Amino acid sequence: MGRQTPLFRLHQELGARLVDFGGWDMPVQYGSQIGEHHAVRRAAGVFDVSHMCVIDLEGARVRAFLERLLANDVGRLRSPGGALYSCLLNESGGILDDLIVYYLDEEFFRLVVNAGTRDKDLAWIRTQARAFDVEVQERTDLAMLAVQGPEARAKAAQLLSPAEATTALALEVFNACELRHWFVARTGYTGEDGFEILMPAADAVAAWRSLNSLGVASCGLGARDTLRLEAGMNLYGNDMDESTQPFESALGWTVALKPAARDFIGRRALEPLAASGSQRKLVGLILEDRGVLRSHQKVIAAGSGEGEITSGTFSPTLERSIAFARVPAGTTDAVQVDIRGKLLRARVVKPPFVRFGRPLIT
Amino acid sequence: MSKLPEDLKYTKSHEWVRTLADGTLEIGITDHAQHALGDLVFVEVPDAGRSVQAGEACAVVESVKAASDVYAPIAGEVTAGNVRLSQEPEAVNTDAYGAGWLWRLKPAPGALAAAALMSAADYQQVLDAEGG
């Protein structure tokens, strides 16, 4: 038996199939995984992401600390409520985790990191924080619901008072606001519009039921995975880890090498790579033949060598198989994938595959 | 979970076997198995004429989540694969014991008698023991 979120009993009551995910008992699906996927693309769905780890950082030097800790530059966050996606790197430029940092005020920032890396991240962050006298507090008192889809914000706003709803609906993309009891962010992991909402654990069951009664579908981690893959978003542990660096993980855009004076952890290892280029790159694949791409399948790129699929699935929106693969930098437009000994044809594409309900790649 | 058809035989690995009028065997996966797999998106069936051994991986059923082998419960020669499933893999979900059949087989001499097949009642006990 793993750890359980405040919604565990409700998931059971709703008939979810529960699986171990990073040490947590989480719902993988409630009914049809493809049905849940389409609900998010076409209307709205709600996910329990309470297993993710919320870390509050407080102190006079918290901004300076984050300038050191993160590969992306919190200098880009100038107005309170702003959010930024970043990698957390080790000294060799390997990716310890990916996260979202929220700027609440000059002495208070919030991180949301992955569930499976919780202990490692907390230990790392606490060690690094000492020199900056920043207080690191893990928030285990909160639940987190992701409400995603074209109708998600309008539905979720109905759980709020009129004044709060006005504030939440006025949020720009990648911004958050603190309401009386809830923290609402216009962020997500699906390629759709929506909110991620932090709330006291005691509010979570009632909020979920209210969303269901408004027609928001309960969605599991299965649909979350197909949605994020279509949206071109990496999954930590699959698509990148400590043995890979951002430039070979399609995350070069999140590494802020300017200003040159910002000495973030991993910078010295990455600077030469930024100049010389990486030997490998992470690309999207669409399978031209019939079958399903899966992680660890071998990719053969004529003339440039071999690579490997890092995440693969069947795309319910495109109705064909898609994947991310780490391949030699010289790989161009066509590869072959070894699926159970058969070499099938796949096309190299630039993710995302789907955005706001619409296919971007045909 | 629906009631198990009484006219079929079953395996511990969740395949079913139907004896057709001409003695040919029809093989598929049980309703329990399709439910555990979830929405199927790809099915690969053996070609007619292929000779298979009992226990040999013979077909592949892939859901959104994962690929799973289906093993031949009985040795023999494949007389047909259900090619319709290449266009409609979901037939295994919606009609596991009918339109979702995977392949038909002419059993090798003595193979049917040698196979460790179960009645519906015995298979039900397997499912009960698994908590299904």
Same domain, A145 and A225: yes
Concatenated DSSP letters of A204-227: HHHHHHHHHHTTPEE--HHHHHHH
* A296/B contact by beta carbon, under 8 A: no
* pLDDT-based confidence at residue B1 (cuts at 50, 70, 90): low
Q: B62: nearest CA in chain A?
A: A292
Please tell me which of the candidates B41, B65, B86 has its beta carbon nearest to residue A222.
B65
- In-domain check, residue A197: yes
Q: Residue by residue, what is the 3-state secondary structure of B6-60?
A: CCCEECCCCEEEEECCCCCEEEEECHHHHHHHCCEEEEECCCCCCEECCCCEEEE
Same domain, A212 and A284: no
- In-domain check, residue B40: yes
Lowest mean pLDDT among A196-200, A210-214, A283-287, A357-361: A357-361
- In-domain check, residue B19: yes
* pLDDT-based confidence at residue B115 (cuts at 50, 70, 90): confident
Same domain, A288 and A353: yes
What residue type is A346 in one-letter code? A
Please tell me which of the candidates B38, B42, B60 has its beta carbon nearest to residue A29.
B38
Q: Which pTM was predicted?
A: 0.94
Report the distance separating Cα A22 and Cα A7, nearest Å: 17
B26: domain CATH number is: 2.40.50.100
A321 Cα distance to chain centroid: 21
* pLDDT-based confidence at residue B114 (cuts at 50, 70, 90): confident
pLDDT tens digits along A253-289: 999 999 999 999 999 999 999 999 999 999 999 999 9
**Among residues A172, A205, A230, which one ends one of the domains?**
A230
Q: Using a CB-CB distance cutoff of 8 angstroms, which residues of chain A are in contact with residue B62?
A: 291-292, 314
Does B132 score more than 70 pLDDT?
no
- In-domain check, residue B5: no
What local confidence, expressed as pLDDT, does residue B2 receive? Answer: 65
* A222/B contact by beta carbon, under 8 A: yes
Report the distance separating Cα A340 and Cα A361, nearest Å: 26
Q: Using a CB-CB distance cutoff of 8 angstroms, which residues of chain B are in contact with residue A321?
A: 42
- In-domain check, residue B89: yes
Q: Please give the share of chain A, as a percent, with pLDDT higher than 70.
A: 100
A46: domain CATH number is: 3.30.1360.120
pLDDT tens digits along A225-261: 999 999 999 999 999 999 999 999 999 999 999 999 9
Residues 79-118 of B with CB under 8 A from A: 86
Query: Domain count of chain B?
Result: 1
- In-domain check, residue B65: yes
Same domain, A151 and A38: yes
Contact yes or no for B86 and A226 at CB 8 A: no
Same domain, A44 and A151: yes
- In-domain check, residue B73: yes
Same domain, A285 and A225: no
pLDDT tens digits along B56-69: 999 999 999 889 99
Residues 13-32 of A with CB under 8 A from B: 28-29, 32
Helix (H, G, I), strand (E, B) or coil at A87: strand
- In-domain check, residue A163: yes
- In-domain check, residue A185: yes
A325: domain CATH number is: 2.40.30.110
- In-domain check, residue B31: yes
* Mutation choice for B interface testing from A12, A17, A26, A33 by most B CBs within 10 A: A33
Please tell me which of the candidates B38, B62, B67 has its beta carbon nearest to residue A33.
B38
Whole-complex ipTM: 0.84
Q: What is the mean pLDDT of chain A?
A: 97
* A297/B contact by beta carbon, under 8 A: no
- In-domain check, residue B75: yes
pLDDT, mean of residues A293-317: 96
**Among residues A230, A264, A297, which one ends one of the domains?**
A230
Same domain, A207 and A287: no
Question: For chain B, how long is the longest CA-to-CA vector?
Answer: 38
What local confidence, expressed as pLDDT, does residue A292 receive? Answer: 97
Q: A222: nearest CA in chain B?
A: B65
Lowest mean pLDDT among A40-44, A50-54, A161-165, B1-5: B1-5
Same domain, A45 and A146: yes
Same domain, A45 and A147: yes
Lowest mean pLDDT among A35-39, A141-145, A320-324, B114-118: B114-118
Q: List the domain range (segments joined by +) for residue B49.
A: 10-123
pLDDT tens digits along B46-97: 999 999 999 999 999 999 988 999 999 999 999 999 999 999 999 999 999 9
Q: List the domain range (segments joined by +) for residue A197.
A: 8-50+141-230
**In A170-309, which residue ranges form alpha helices assigned H by DSSP?**
204-213, 221-230, 267-276
Q: Are A187 and A233 in contact (CB under 8 A)?
A: no
* Mutation choice for A interface testing from B32, B35, B39, B94 by most A CBs within 10 A: B39
pLDDT tens digits along A100-141: 999 999 999 999 999 999 999 999 999 999 999 999 999 999
* Mutation choice for A interface testing from B64, B84, B88, B92 by most A CBs within 10 A: B64
Q: A28: nearest CA in chain B?
A: B65
Same domain, A44 and A146: yes
- In-domain check, residue A295: yes
Contact yes or no for A34 and B39 at CB 8 A: yes
- In-domain check, residue A56: no
- In-domain check, residue A88: no
What local confidence, expressed as pLDDT, does residue A96 receive? Answer: 98
Does B131 score more than 80 pLDDT?
no
What local confidence, expressed as pLDDT, does residue B116 receive? Answer: 84
* pLDDT-based confidence at residue A357 (cuts at 50, 70, 90): very high
Same domain, A218 and A283: no
Burial of residue A68 (CB within 10 Å: 0-12, 13-18, 19+) is: middle
Query: Domain count of chain A?
Result: 2
pLDDT tens digits along A295-306: 999 999 988 899
